[in-house]
Amino acid sequence: MLRERFFWRLRAPASPGETRRIERWLATSRVLLAWSAMVAILINPTEVRPSVWVSGLLAFYVAQSFLIIVLLRRRQESTESFRILVHGADIVWPALISVFVSGVGNPFFLFFIFVLAAAAYRWGLRETVGTALVALALLWFEALIFQLGFLTWLDGVVSRHHLSPLNASPLNFDPKALFMRSIYLLVLSLLLGYLAEQEKQLRAEKAVIAHALGLVRVEAGMNGTLQEILGDLLSSYGAKQALIASLEANSHHIFVGEIRSLNGTPTNFHWLEPSPSDRETYLYESPEQASHAHRGKHGFDKLVALDRDGARVKHVSPEFLKGLARRHEFSDLATVSFVFGREWSGRIFLLNPALTGDTEEELRFLQEYVRQIGPAVYNVYLLRRLRRRAGALERARFARELHDGAVQSLIAVEMQVDVLRRLSATDPAQTSQELGRIQGLLREEVLKLRELMQQMKSFDVDSRRILGLLGDTVERFQRETGIAARFVCDLEEVDMPQDVCRELARIVQEGLVNVRKHSGARKVLVRLGADEGVWRMLIEDDGSGFPFSGRFTQAELESMGKGPVVIKERVRLIAGELTIESNPGQGSRLEISVPQKREAVYGE
């Protein structure tokens, strides 16, 4: 009895286009076989007894083969009923024409192999074996009617009606020879069906994993991603509950999350309250990497465990599952461990899964599932950590900027205002002068706070918006500082990647901040252009310049430890090149060049 395997994974049927393509290949093969049979008969006519019935059968098969090709080219879809009808004709035809074979060898036996291969291509193991059984039933039925003399009687009836005799031959229906051919066809059907089933299974597994990879989305965050992945596992394995226990190596914190299936629909994923026994319950030490356990009335009476290579681990005690059994109710349990990098490890638990096939094979696929999906989930985990770390650093930087800038300045202003309040009655002239200085100081702090707010804003700019954004940035700089500023674009059309647009806009903002703070310039020019496959950005002013003289590349600036650090880092992010020309007392010139085809830089 053949065991049904992996019903839940065999859910990737061939697409209509693939089905049509398979039918075309089979139709082409059928035509070649038909012509080959006719040529073989012409070369050695003694193999088949001459008869108008044989000629009719051959003509019918050739016509049928060409008609199927025509229908497949004219129709956009091959229906199941059409395929069954064609398949049935492919089984019956070689069985009928075998009646007229006069030699011991049957030149039409190859057609039985063709129909087995067609069943394997179209369907799978059961259909291929079923095809072999139907073909054998026809052959043995024909052997029976030969033994009963039915064909001899039918030949006499045909002769009495002055029709061409059948000339049927019983040579290929000897029970001994037919028995060996029957065994041959059955073995061949099992082999072809097994190969078809394996291909079908691999295609289904690929579809399942591809679907799961599509569920991993950065914008969904860690909880949303685990909701989708664990929900998919619940649906795939028919489990009632899924748990994930993970350990962060840096913090040594253990997190346990849960999702349940309610009437076939996954509930919301949530984290459980931590417990001191979480490590012993979920992250126990065990030689297995995946396991399946059945829990009976007297404890665990069946345990299947696999190592990381998918090999069976023998003599594994189920003692490590007792802590889990005390905390959760289940009769069956499937587990798989994961380790990603040096930072994240853990284990997934499926409670009461409905395994429909071989347990070891199901566990191996669960291992493969985690192995394929894990890195994508791990990337979401790392991105979440990086975002938290970057957010903490950014908040610390803004706090430092506020403390060292605006807060200190406001404290100084408050002290000066208090002094002015005391002097206002005795020295009005000095009071007016000090108020002007305080006003300038407050204006400077307002500008700093606005710049800080601009840096805190989320930045979404692309090639359609960058020109407007750069123009607005330069115009606002001129309005707020009183420094004459101009933006010039030498491009008729901008077609930059989004990351290049974003970093160039940030570089312009940082450059203008530096001009206002340090240069004392009266004029600033910002220019965007392109030549020789390179985008070029220029920021030029007539201020005091940098504390060095000459023209230096980014590599030279790095070796000297000079130049604006933030701008250098942003240029590096987009694989660009920074050149600074400085004339102390006369101004400075920043040139940023970015290759338009950066794949050549990265070797992609």
Question: What SS3 state is found at 102?
Answer: coil
Nearest alpha carbon to residue 89 among 30, 144, 48, 151: 30
Structural domains for the chain: 16-211 (no CATH), 218-384 (3.30.450), 459-604 (3.30.565.10)
239: left (phi over 0), alpha (psi -120 to 50) or beta: beta
Find out whether 398 and 456 touch, Cβ atoms under 8 Å: yes
**Token digits of residue 252:** 């040594």
Q: What DSSP letter does each residue of 264-298 carry, written as one string? A: TEE---EEPPP-TTHHHHHS---S-SEEEEEEETT
> What pLDDT sits at residue 424?
66
Query: ∠ at Cα 386 (384, 389), nearest 5°?
Result: 110
C-alpha 587/C-alpha 544 separation (Å) is: 5
Which residues of the chain fall below pLDDT 70?
A: 1-15, 45-51, 102-106, 151, 158-159, 161-168, 387-388, 390-432, 434, 436, 439-460, 598-604
**Around Cβ 79, how many Cβ atoms within 10 Å?**
11
94, burial (CB in 10 Å: exposed 0-12, middle 13-18, buried 19+)? buried
CB 101 within 8 A of CB 48: yes
pLDDT of residue 427: 66
| Residue 115 CB neighbours (<10 A) | 27
Cβ atoms of 212 and 174 closer than 8 Å: no
Tokens encoding 566: 């933030």
Query: Exposure of 18 by Cβ count < 10 A (0-12 exposed, 13-18 middle, 19+ buried)?
Result: exposed
Backbone angles phi, psi at 349, to 5 degrees: -120, 130
Could you give the CA distance from residue 413 to residue 345 in angstroms, rounded to a whole number?
54
CA–CA separation, 437 vs 444, rounded Å? 11
Decide: 363 and 293 in contact? Cβ < 8 Å: no
| C-alpha–C-alpha distance, residues 91 and 135, integer Å | 6
In angstroms, the CA 273 to CA 256 distance is 8
E strand or H helix that includes residue 593: strand 587-595
Residues 6+ apart with CB under 8 A from 529: 489, 490, 491, 535, 536, 538
CB 206 within 8 A of CB 12: yes
- Taking the whole predicted model, whether its pTM rises above 0.75 is answered as no
H/E run at residue 349: strand 344-351
DSSP code string of 135-168: HHHHHHHHHHHHHTTHHHHHHHHHHHTTPPP---
Q: Which pLDDT score is estimated for 7?
A: 46
Q: Report pLDDT for 13.
A: 59
Q: Measure CA of the first residue to CA of the last residue in the chain; give whole Å.
A: 53
pLDDT score at 12: 53
SS3 465: coil
155, 160, 163, 168 alpha-carbon torsion, rounded to 10°: 10
Give the containing element (helix H, strand E) for 583: strand 577-583
**d(Cα 206, Cα 552) in Å, to the nearest integer?**
54
Q: How far is CA 296 from CA 186, 281, 327, in A?
A: 41, 20, 16
Report the 10 Å Cβ neighbour count for 376.
Answer: 18
Integer Cα distance of 449 and 335 in angstroms:
54
Q: Which pair of tokens denotes residue 98?
A: 């075998």
DSSP 1: -
